[in-house]
Amino acid sequence: MTDLFGIMRSPRAVLFGNGQRLALGRVAAALGRRALICTDERFAATPEMAALLASLESAGVRVQVFDRSLPDLPVEGVYECVAAHRAFQPDTIVGLGGGSCLDMAKLVSLLLTHGGDAADYYGEYKVPGPTIPVIALPTTSGTGSEVTPVAVLADSARDLKVGVSSPHLIPHTAICDPELTLSCPKGLTAIAGADALTHAIEALTAVRRSPDADIAQTRVFVGKNAFSDQQALIAIRALASYLPRAVEDGSDLHARGQVMAAALAAGLAFGVAGTAAAHAIQYPIGALTHTAHGAGVATLMPYVMDFNASACAADYADISRAMGDTDPDAARLAANAPRHVYELFARIGIPATLEGLGVRADQLDWIAGQSMLAARLVTNNPRPLDQDGIAAIVAAAHA
Ligand code: NAD
C-alpha cells in the first residue's frame, strides 16, 4: 500500500544547460528532414538564430522560418503561418522565443496535423490525436510552455484570451539553454519569473491536482499529486533564492540557469495540476489594461493567497519553508506565506496593487463577472470561489 499518488507528463526529452541550443540540428534530424521555425523578428535578427540555422543545415535539415510571431499570440498570426508553410510539410516545428513563440509552434503543429479552426480546440482534451512533433527552445524563463500541454492565444472574436490544453500539445523535446535568456531586460526577467512563481503556488494549492481524464477515465483523483507538489516546491525554492539575483544582475548566468530550471519545474507542476484564481482573474485584467500576463498574475497572487489561507495551511507552511522561513511554528509559517510572496514581488518591481496595473475602481465588478467565465480555473481554487469571493479579492487588491 502507498499513500502516494501522482501523474506526471513531460516531453520525451529535456536537454538543459548552457550551449545546449546547438543540439537543435541533431534533435531535428532525428525527427525528419524538414523543420519549420516559429519565432519573432527580434530573435530572427540575432547571431544565435544564425548559429541555430547552421546547426540545422549541417545536420541535413531543410528549414523554413516564420518570424512574425507577436506577443500574446493573435490567432491571425497562427493562420498566416499555417497558410504560408502548409506546402512545406514540415516533419517538426521548432518554437524559438518567449511563451508566445512556443505556443505558436504548438498551435501551428495542431492545425497542420488536424486542420480546422483554432476555436475547434479551445478548452481541454479536444485534440483528437498526436500532432507534428514540436521542439521548444524558450528564450524567457517563465511560462513553462516548453513542457506544458497548454497554448494560449488572443482571438479577436472574443474579449478574453483563450487556451487549448491537451497532452498532445506537450512538446516532443524541450531544449533549455540559459544563455538564450541573457538578453532579457530586467522587466521581462521579473515578469516571466513571477509568472513561474504563481504557476508553482497555484499548482501546489490546486484542488484538482491531476485532471487525469485522458489517462484514467474511471478515476479523477482529488488530493495531493506527489509529483507536481515536488516540482512546485523545487520551483518556489529556486525562485525565492535566484529570481531577485537574475533581475538585479542579468549577466549572472548561474542565477539565470536556476530561474530557467524553476520555470520548467513550475510548468511540469501546473501542466497536470492546473492553475486557479489568480489566472482566472488576470484574463479580464489583461484584456482591459493590456499589461503582461505575468505582471497581472503576480500582482494578484498575494491577495488570492490571503483569500485562500483558511484552506491551505499545510501548503502555505511548505511555501514559507521553501522561501527560507525557519520559524519552527507551523501556524506562523502558514500565516507568513502571502507576505513572503508579496515581498519577493515588491523586490523585483511587480506592481503592488491593481491600480498599479491601470485598473480603475469602476471596473472591478466587470472583472469579477468576467473571471467567472474561466470556470475550469475557478473550480480549481482551493477555497470555493464565487463571484462575491472574486469581488472581495479584487477589492482588496485594488485598495
Ligand atoms: P512573450 O513570448 O509574449 O514575449 C514578450 C516579449 O519579450 C517579446 O517582445 C519578445 O520578443 C521578447 N523576448 C523574448 N525573449 C527575449 C529575450 N531573450 N531577450 C529579449 N527579449 C525577449 O513573453 P513570455 O512571458 O515568455 O510569454 C507570454 C505568453 O505566454 C502569453 O501569451 C501567455 O498567455 C503565454 N503563456 C503560456 C503558457 C503555456 O503553458 N503555454 C503559460 C503561461 C503563459
Residue range 8-56, pLDDT digits in tens: 899 999 999 999 999 999 999 999 999 999 999 999 999 999 999 999 9
Mean pLDDT taken over the chain: 94
* Ligand 1 atom nearest to CA at 271: 40
The tally of CA atoms less than 13 A away on the side-chain side of residue 126 is 18
Residues 6+ apart with CB under 8 A from 308: 205, 277, 381, 382, 383
Confidence check: pLDDT of 218 > 50: no
Which pLDDT value is given to residue 7? 81
Q: How far apart are the first and last CA of the chain?
A: 50
CB 18 within 8 A of CB 175: no
Task: Give me the interface pTM, i.e. the ipTM.
Answer: 0.99
pLDDT band at 221 (very low <50, low <70, confident <90, very high): low
Pocket test for ligand 1, best of 78, 139, 140 (most atoms within 8 A of CB): 140
Q: Which H, E and C letters describe 176-208, residue by residue? A: ECHHHHCCCCHHHHHHHHHHHHHHHHHHHHCCC
Q: Is any ligand 1 atom within 6 A of the Cβ of residue 103?
A: yes
- Ranges of beta strands (E only) in the chain are 13-16, 34-38, 62-66, 92-97, 123-124, 134-138, 150-153, 162-165, 173-176
Q: Is any ligand 1 atom within 6 A of the Cβ of residue 149?
A: no
pLDDT band at 209 (very low <50, low <70, confident <90, very high): low
Residue 358 is placed in which grid cell?
491601470
The identity of residue 59, as a single letter, is A
Cell numbers 516531453 label which residue?
A: 11
Residue range 368-392, pLDDT digits in tens: 999 999 988 999 999 999 999 999 9
Expressed in angstroms and rounded, the spacing between residue 353 Cα and the centre of ligand 1 is 22
Confidence check: pLDDT of 318 > 60: yes
Alpha-carbon distance 356 to 87, whole Å? 47
CB 348 within 8 A of CB 198: no
Q: Is any ligand 1 atom within 6 A of the Cβ of residue 145?
A: yes
Average pLDDT over every residue of 73-90: 97
> Which residues make beta-bridge pairs with 79?
none
CB 300 within 8 A of CB 392: no
Expressed in angstroms and rounded, the spacing between residue 99 Cα and the centre of ligand 1 is 4
Q: Is any ligand 1 atom within 6 A of the Cβ of residue 189?
A: no
* Ligand 1 atom 7: residue of nearest CA: 98
* Ligand 1 atom 3: residue of nearest CA: 71
Cα torsion 189, 192, 198, 199: sign: negative
Cell numbers 512574425 label which residue?
A: 68
* Ligand 1 atom 13: residue of nearest CA: 98
Q: Is any ligand 1 atom within 6 A of the Cβ of residue 97?
A: yes
pLDDT band at 216 (very low <50, low <70, confident <90, very high): very low
Radius of gyration (C-alpha) of the chain in whole angstroms: 20
Residue 379 exposed, middle or buried by CB count within 10 Å (0-12, 13-18, 19+): middle
Expressed in angstroms and rounded, the spacing between residue 83 Cα and the centre of ligand 1 is 23
* Ligand 1 atom nearest to CA at 151: 41
Alpha-carbon distance 78 to 38, whole Å? 10
Which pLDDT value is given to residue 399? 84
Confidence check: pLDDT of 304 > 90: yes
Counts of helices then strands in the chain (DSSP H, E): 15, 9
Cell numbers 550551449 label which residue?
A: 19
Alpha-carbon distance 217 to 323, whole Å? 36
Q: Is any ligand 1 atom within 6 A of the Cβ of residue 143?
A: yes
Percent with pLDDT over 90 in the chain: 89
Alpha-carbon distance 367 to 376, whole Å? 17
* Ligand 1 atom nearest to CA at 294: 25
Residue 260 exposed, middle or buried by CB count within 10 Å (0-12, 13-18, 19+): buried
The identity of residue 212, as a single letter, is D
- From 273, 345, 267, select the one nearest 302 (Cα to Cα): 345
Pocket test for ligand 1, best of 72, 100, 162, 376 (most atoms within 8 A of CB): 100
Average pLDDT over every residue of 185-203: 98
Residue range 240-252, pLDDT digits in tens: 999 999 999 999 9
* Ligand 1 atom 42: residue of nearest CA: 143
Q: Is any ligand 1 atom within 6 A of the Cβ of residue 183?
A: yes
Q: Is any ligand 1 atom within 6 A of the Cβ of residue 163?
A: no
Alpha-carbon distance 395 to 292, whole Å? 20
Residue 219 exposed, middle or buried by CB count within 10 Å (0-12, 13-18, 19+): exposed
